[in-house]
Amino acid sequence: MFYGTMKLLVGGALKLAFRPWVEGLENIPAEGPAILASNHLSFSDSFFFPAMLDRKVTFIAKQEYFTTPGVKGKLTAAFFKGVGQLPVDRSGGRGASEAAIKSGIEVLERGELFGIYPEGTRSPDGRLYRGKPGGLARVALATGAPVIPVAMIDTEKIQPPGKVMPKLMRPGIRIGKPLDFSRYHGMDNDRFILRSVTDEVMYEIMKLSGQEYVDIYATVAKRQIADAEAARKREGKSAEGAADDKSGDDKPGDQGGDQGGDKAGA
């Protein structure tokens, strides 16, 4: 009931304000389980996409949305729980991965739609990054559910980092044809099969989105960007320090003192 209410209020407001366009809705089954595998450009992806579907879709969401302290944290947790999102620990470790896989399987066994972002995190620069095989492929092979590739278009431009007010523009959604991986059923422990399934899905997402593909994980790219930014800041501070030292050596008072000493000596 809460999901329906939020979809009516939030989803209705999003559709009215942003008028998102969508292609390929006919590829979403009217009933039965399916995995919706999407690129991830913005926090708003998990709002725009479900708003355009008649059926409920359950995404996995990072655990921090459910555990942040304070009033805002409690409200955020209540919202995500109310719309059926599942908390997942992204700190790593086999236990966290297994919990995410189990949650996805349970959703599909109920005959529902399960949404997942194979990249594991938002793209740091709008490009498409390598998909992680541990979640998407294992859930697909364990359940036999079809995988439907989805491309979110321009959602990252609505509210870029550092911007408070969103930009009113039309984002888009392209939904591809279902992919059948039943030929690999029971092979969900074969890492080569998992990689192959994931890469096939990412290739379809790339074709739908038109994004440039980068064959590294988005988490690695974010770390590289953070390291480069930290290095630039260190270089900037070093340059400032060198400039201060230089200006200190050339102080007019020092020059005057030397000149005065020379005169006195003469």
Question: How do residues 128-182 score in pLDDT, each as one tens digit?
Answer: 999 998 889 999 999 999 999 999 999 999 987 667 788 899 999 999 999 999 9
What pairs with residue 61 in β-bridges? 87
Residues 6+ positions from 69 with CB-CB distance below 8 Å: none
- φ and ψ at residue 3, rounded to 5 degrees: -60, -45
Name the average pLDDT for the chain.
85
**CATH number of the domain that residue 80 is part of:** 3.40.1130.10
Which domain covers residue 8, as residue numbers?
2-216
pLDDT (0 to 100) of residue 78: 72
pLDDT (0 to 100) of residue 244: 66
pLDDT at 79 over 90: no
Residues 6+ positions from 53 with CB-CB distance below 8 Å: 25, 28, 113
| pTM for the structure as a whole | 0.82
Tens-digit pLDDT profile for residues 8-23: 787 888 899 999 999 9
Instruction: Say how far residue 205 (Cα) sits from the centre of its chain.
Output: 14
Q: Select the more confidently predicted residue: 62 or 115.
A: 115
- The dihedral region occupied by 186, where left means phi > 0, alpha psi between -120 and 50, and beta the remainder, is left
Cα dihedral 157, 158, 159, 165 sign = positive
pLDDT at 263 over 60: no
**50: closest CA among 87, 88, 76, 82?**
82
Lowest mean pLDDT: which of 46-55, 60-69, 197-206? 60-69
Tell me, yes or no, whether 248 and 189 share the same domain.
Answer: no
Q: Select the more confidently predicted residue: 36 or 242.
A: 36
Q: Select the more confidently predicted residue: 246 or 196.
A: 196
Tell me, yes or no, whether 93 and 54 share the same domain.
Answer: yes
Tell me, yes or no, whether 10 and 108 share the same domain.
Answer: yes
DSSP 88-123: E--S-SHHHHHHHHHHHHHHHHTT-EEEE-TTSS--
Tell me, yes or no, whether 11 and 104 share the same domain.
Answer: yes
Q: How many CA atoms lie within 13 A of 132 on its CB side?
A: 19
Tell me, yes or no, whether 17 and 58 share the same domain.
Answer: yes
Residues 6+ positions from 258 with CB-CB distance below 8 Å: none
Tell me, yes or no, whether 165 and 233 share the same domain.
Answer: no
- The dihedral region occupied by 210, where left means phi > 0, alpha psi between -120 and 50, and beta the remainder, is left
pLDDT at 255 over 90: no
Tell me, yes or no, whether 158 and 233 share the same domain.
Answer: no
Tell me, yes or no, whether 174 and 195 share the same domain.
Answer: yes
Tens-digit pLDDT profile for residues 80-97: 776 667 777 665 556 557
pLDDT at 250 over 70: no
Most confident of 59-68, 126-135, 231-240: 126-135
- The dihedral region occupied by 175, where left means phi > 0, alpha psi between -120 and 50, and beta the remainder, is beta
pLDDT (0 to 100) of residue 29: 97
pLDDT (0 to 100) of residue 108: 96
Tell me, yes or no, whether 123 and 200 share the same domain.
Answer: yes
pLDDT (0 to 100) of residue 130: 97
pLDDT (0 to 100) of residue 260: 46
pLDDT (0 to 100) of residue 96: 55
Average pLDDT over every residue of 247-260: 52
Tell me, yes or no, whether 152 and 249 share the same domain.
Answer: no
Maximum C-alpha span of the chain: 102
pLDDT (0 to 100) of residue 266: 41
Tell me, yes or no, whether 169 and 240 share the same domain.
Answer: no
In the chain, the amino acid numbered 129 is: Y
Tell me, yes or no, whether 79 and 174 share the same domain.
Answer: yes
For 23, the token pair is: 């292609």
pLDDT (0 to 100) of residue 119: 95
What pairs with residue 198 in β-bridges? none
Q: How many domains does the chain have?
A: 2
Lay out the sheet containing 21-23: strands in order across: 21-23, 172-175, 147-153, 34-38, 113-116, 57-62, 86-88
Q: Select the more confidently predicted residue: 183 or 249.
A: 183
Helix, strand or coil, per DSSP, at residue 42 = coil
pLDDT at 246 over 80: no
Of 216, 231, 256, which closes a domain?
Answer: 216
